[in-house]
Each structure stands twice: as structure tokens, then as C-alpha cells.
Structure 1
Amino acid sequence: MATISNAAPTTLRTARPDLAANIAPQPTRSLPEGTEVRGFALYVGLSEDKLNSNDPQISDIVNQIKHLVNRLAPAADTYAAVALAPEGTGGRDVDVVRFALGDPSAKARRQQAAAAEQDRAKSGVILDFSRGRVLLDNTPATLTFREFELLQFLVLREGRTVSRDEIIEGLWADAPAEEVPSERTIDVHVRRLRVKLAQYQDIVRTVRGIGYRFDRHADVSILHAAGPSPDRF
């Protein structure tokens, strides 16, 4: 980041002495309680390679803007900084400037974009309970509601073998008697779930004669909901 000196303003060919008189009054905006306005930041996106040979230099433009502010509000303190970025940085100039000069919203968007890109690039299984979805190599698995519930039920009991009876009692506790499945039907649900998990179907293991178990795998990421699950123990 480079600062701009307070040298006398250069007279620009495009300068408008009457500019202040042409500025329309802006509506007053309500402020958050307990805050006050102490100034403002004006981000200008303009790379040097976009200036023609007969255009004013960036430093001249900055000094002219500072001069205008001093005319409009003589009591104002002004400070100008030039945003520097690595050569070849993509994106709009004004967005690069905002990020380089520490604009909080620009930083937040950059972090969100980086997180989204990382999520897209990540392979393996993502069990996203906060959004109710399962991603296989970043592709959504087409699980039914009951299949998702069954997988979540096992994952929340990670490392413990869960019997078929326990699954029935946990997932069909409020179902009418005629809708409660048999142990054999649980096996069918698990088999269909495994088919949809494709190459990752072994994350649901069969414990012969007892039931099923989910064990932690290196290629599985679990995103829990914001609050603790009432099923977790």
C-alpha cells in the first residue's frame, strides 16, 4: 500500500469548479444505535494501464479529489492510500482495491469464495447434517428422507454397533403400527443406502448377527448442525 502526498492539487482538464453546486442532497439514513458517522471511504478502481498518455496520473486524480473535499468541508481531515496488488490479479479493479485496503465486506466475500472453492475441490464423502445432504466427490447423493435419517442415525452413534431393533425404535417410534418395518426391511433400507453411496458404501458396516456400525473414515467429513443433536450420546 502506498500513500499519496499532500502536494498542491494539479489542475485537471476535466476539473469542474461548479461540481459542488451540482451535488444533489442525499436522504438521511438511520444509524445503528450507539454509533455516529466519523467519515467515509471512497474506493476507486483504476489501474494505471487503463490511463491514456494524455490522461492525468492517479496521484493527480487523488489530489484533485482531496482538493474538492477541502472545498466542500474545510474542517475535514483527508488521507489517501493507493492499493497495490500482484501483477495479473484478476477481478474488477474496485473489488481488488476494497480487499487490498481492508474493506470488511470484501474480505468476507473473498473468504466465502475460497471456502466454496475448497468445498468444490474436496473429494470423498461430506455428510452435511446442517443442510440435510450427502455429497460424494462433491456430487449430491440422491438419498430419500428415510435413507438420510438412517445414515445420520448410525453416524451419530459412531463406533458403536446399532441393532436393527434400536434402529426401528429410534426412527419409527412415532409411526403407526402398520408402518413399523421388520428387521428384514431394515436390511433392505441399508442395502439401498449402500447402493447410493456407491464406492463409499463400506462406511456403513455390517456386524454379523448384531446390526450395523459407522466408523470414522479418512475420506469422510461430517458437518453437524449448529446445535447439538438430541440423538447424540
Structure 2
Amino acid sequence: MTITAFPTRTRRPSRELPAVHGSSALAPAPLRPAPPAAAAPSSPVRAVPEGTEARGFVLYVGLGEDAAAADRIELARLVGELRALTSRLAPSAQTHAAVALAPAGAGGRDVDVVRRALGDPAVQQPAPEVDPGIVIDLTRKRVAIGDEVAPLTYREFELLQHIVLREGTTVGRCDIIDALWDADADDRPNERTIDVHVRRLRAKLGDYAEVIRTVRGAGYRFDRHADVTVLAGGPSPDRF
């Protein structure tokens, strides 16, 4: 007799929920909290005054040669990377790079040096040193060098004045003697003594000693320069 085995059917678990007895079957399902309402979009904040529009921005990058070498990067590569990033984020943006040059050994932070070099109006530019020059006041009979008054004697000022009034003309030593000393004066000098007077005058003029030039074999001469101011009012104060 042949016995045939039939496969056993595995009973799958029922997906039906188990019956619930009692009053809990009528209880409502717990409520989930409602999601918070989306905040209303805020209006953009204007960073520029009314009547103007933002057209771009400037990014100052301070990176000296030593710092760039320490970071193992060249300025050209850094510029290229920043340009590529800008192009990726804002394809419509236009870029311009300018390298700021400064004297070797200039102090201060690199970024501050860059801002000054590129004329950032927000950075106070150091006032250039202006040479106050020399003022020869013929009316008040004094010489001012900057804020200081040169301690000239009466004779030294007369000598300076005589040469200054003949601007552009070589004044001989004999002419100076005849103009500033009487013919019978006991202290009437010779030509060599005039050189001594001029040397003392130049010493008191300091950095402006060369306003009185020596013309070899002829005498002395005054030529006007940008840092020399001559003040004279009324008739010539010269003795002639």
C-alpha cells in the first residue's frame, strides 16, 4: 500500500486586531499635537540708506608674503579660489582683484595696510608730513622756520635781506660791504669777513642754509623755492 504525504499548510497569523471588550472600545484615539504654524516671512532688512542700492561689496584680505608662505598658498591661487567660489554661488557676479603693495617692513596688521593702500574711506589715512618751510618776513624783520623763529642778529638779518631783495642776481662781497657798512665805519669788514658772516647766517638757518647760494668767485645769490616764502609790505625795506 502506498502512503502519500500531503504538505502541511502553515497557518499565517491573522492581521485582524484582537477584539476589545468593555467601554474602551468606544474611546477616541489620542490626538497628536498640531504642528506649529509657519512664521510669516519677514521683510528684508536694508543695509543701505533709502534712495540707494547695494551694488556689491569689497572683501579686504590681509595676507603678507611670510604668512602666505606659512600657509603654503600663493596669492594668485587664493584669488582664483575666491573667484571660483563667487562664480559658483552667484554666476552673475563680476569680480576684480587688486594686490595692495606696501613698503617693505611696514608695520601694522596686514589687513589694515591693505585697506590704507587701496584707499578705504573708513580707514583714517595718515596725514602726509608737510614741510612748513621758511618764512622771511622783511616787514617784521624776522625769519620763521616752521614754528621756530631763527635767532638772527640785526646784522645777519640785514645781510639776508640785502641778498633776498636781489632775487636771481649774484651779489658781490664788495656790494654787500658798501650797502651795509658806512665807508668810515670802524667795524667795516673786508671780503673775507663777509664769508664769516654768511657762514654764521647759514648755521642759524639750519636745513634752509642753502637759500643763500655761493657763486664761486662772484658772491652770493638767492633763488626762490617752493618751501621759501618772502613777506614784504609797502616800499622796499632795503636801505636804498
TM-score normalised by length of structure 1: 0.45
Higher relative contact order (CA 8 A, sep 6+): 1
Greater percentage in helix: 1
TM-score normalised by length of structure 2: 0.44
Q: Work out which of the two has the higher radius of gyration on C-alpha atoms and give 1 or 2.
A: 2
